[in-house]
Amino acid sequence: MTDTKRWIGAIRQLPPPDLWDEVRFRVASAQGRATVPADPQSRGGAARQPWSASLGSGRKRLTAGAVAFAVFAAASVLLWNGFRTQGPSSTAPVGAGPPHGTFGDGSVSFEPTQGWDLLQGGALSACATTGSFAAEDVRQSSHLGPNDLLGCFSTAASLPPGGVLVTASVPDAYTWAVPNPNFPAGTIPPTLDPASCGARAFEGQPPGTTECHVWMTVNDRQLGIYVFLGTESPTPALMATAQAGLDALVLSEPASLGNDIAFRPTDGWYDEAATPTRGSPAIDLPAAWTSNVALTRYSQQYLPAGPSNADIARLPTDGVIVSVEQAAPAGEPPPDPASYQPSALPLDLSTARLIRGGWEGMADSDVSQLYLRAEVNGRPVIVQAFFQTTDPSRELIREASIGLARLVVVPAE
């Protein structure tokens, strides 16, 4: 593990959320509810029907605690990727319709500028300096994993008195972010606020430097920028030079995953995403599902789209499937709209209801699911996490949370 994740370093020491006790409490308070909740369109996601029948049925900071919660949503997948380093890459969407929104390639970079040297850290991070890059940073830039970020902190530690380093990174290529108090709405080019700068102000800050932070939401992305100046008393001219570095920043819109609901690709997880095209707006709705075991490809022979009962029945005892489907066309209210409360990603399974036992079309009774409704980016969604046990352990629930943390939902138009 390199130091390239410094801007989200505060969450490194936070364990993934332990939801087991909370789920046990919710089960104890909801005994007897052992069937899929009634839904006028049978959109429980588990009882799949042939499509024709379905048509008929309708680095840590001094303020690490605050920073950790601020960036948890954007960066949780980067933290949890460390738990899954083997296995095949995710599969491509099947039957996915054209996603909505304005897409880019998900990258962050700097325009070439006279007097500045550039170093790209994959697609998700980049550095620009008026000096020379340290050999260690150059080496790291060529050995980054797909989710690693280049921080150029060896270069920061070796800046000359008149040198400037600007680093910029995003947590991933796909997530659609909304502004929040810690990542407020911003613009490109960013503006360097002297109030965000300090000498000897941050843990791990190289001695003899001034460090500045610019955190914002822009182009539907959460963007983290660090600016280092090679002196503790920067002049206005040096601050203007730093601003010139920011002026060269380029940030793309999120990249497309091919479906309005999808999961960010991660080794060790098998993903499916689909938007059926049967001609009925009430049924042709986006869905995505992911599992830590291999899935069969979606055949489009049953609706709504989602994992088949056979997929769920074949789960091993340590397997999980997490499914997310849109419950109603965009702009139309879903059944029981009050149960779809606006929620931010990543969704929290501790608010889900545990449902034990089988359902229509599922003869196996030794199964269970965590069931959750929410409105995400203007879309009403049903979330289900399936297990091959009626008593999922905290490890299984944690595994489901890891999968769900990768959810991407394109905002509704």
Amino acid at 171: P
What is the model's pTM? 0.74
Cα 410 to Cα 34, 174, 227, 291, 338, distances in angstroms: 32, 9, 31, 21, 22
List phi, psi (to 5°) of 143. Answer: -130, 30
Distance CA 94, CA 302 (A): 13
Identify the pLDDT of residue 354.
96
| Residue spans per domain, the chain | 6-99+258-409, 108-251
Q: Which residues pair with 326 in a beta bridge?
A: 381
Q: Which residues pair with 371 in a beta bridge?
A: 353, 384
Distance CA 287, CA 342 (A): 18
Cα 230 to Cα 154, 205, 208, 233, distances in angstroms: 13, 11, 7, 9
Distance CA 139, CA 274 (A): 40
Cα separation of the two ends of the chain: 39
Please name the helix (run of DSSP H) or strand (run of DSSP E) that holds residue 168, with its range, or none: strand 164-169
Q: What CATH number does the domain located at 108-251 have? A: 2.60.120
5: which 2 tokens? 């994740």
DSSP letters, 237-284, are HHHHHHHHHHHTEEEPPPBP-SSSEEE---TT-EEEEE---SS-TTT-
Contact indicator for 321, 370 with CB cutoff of 8 Å:
no
| Residue 339: CB atoms within 10 Å | 15
**Residue carrying the six token digits 């709504």:** 304
Distance CA 208, CA 159 (A): 9
407: which 2 tokens? 């959810």
Per-residue pLDDT of the chain (413 residues; tens, 9 = 90+): 343 334 333 322 333 344 433 333 333 333 322 223 333 233 333 333 333 233 222 232 222 332 332 333 334 333 333 333 233 434 445 444 445 568 999 999 999 999 999 999 999 999 999 999 999 999 999 999 888 999 999 999 999 999 999 999 999 999 999 899 999 999 999 999 999 999 999 999 999 999 999 999 999 999 999 999 999 999 999 999 999 999 999 999 999 999 999 999 999 999 999 999 877 777 889 999 999 999 999 988 888 899 999 999 999 999 999 999 999 998 889 989 999 999 999 999 999 999 998 887 776 788 999 999 999 999 999 999 999 999 999 999 999 999 999 999 999 97
Identify the pLDDT of residue 54.
30
Cα 164 to Cα 114, 150, 204, 319, 408, distances in angstroms: 14, 16, 18, 49, 35
Cα 237 to Cα 196, 229, 244, distances in angstroms: 17, 12, 11
Identify the pLDDT of residue 40.
28
| Residue 343: CB atoms within 10 Å | 17
Spatial neighbors of 28 by CB under 8 A, at least 6 apart, are none
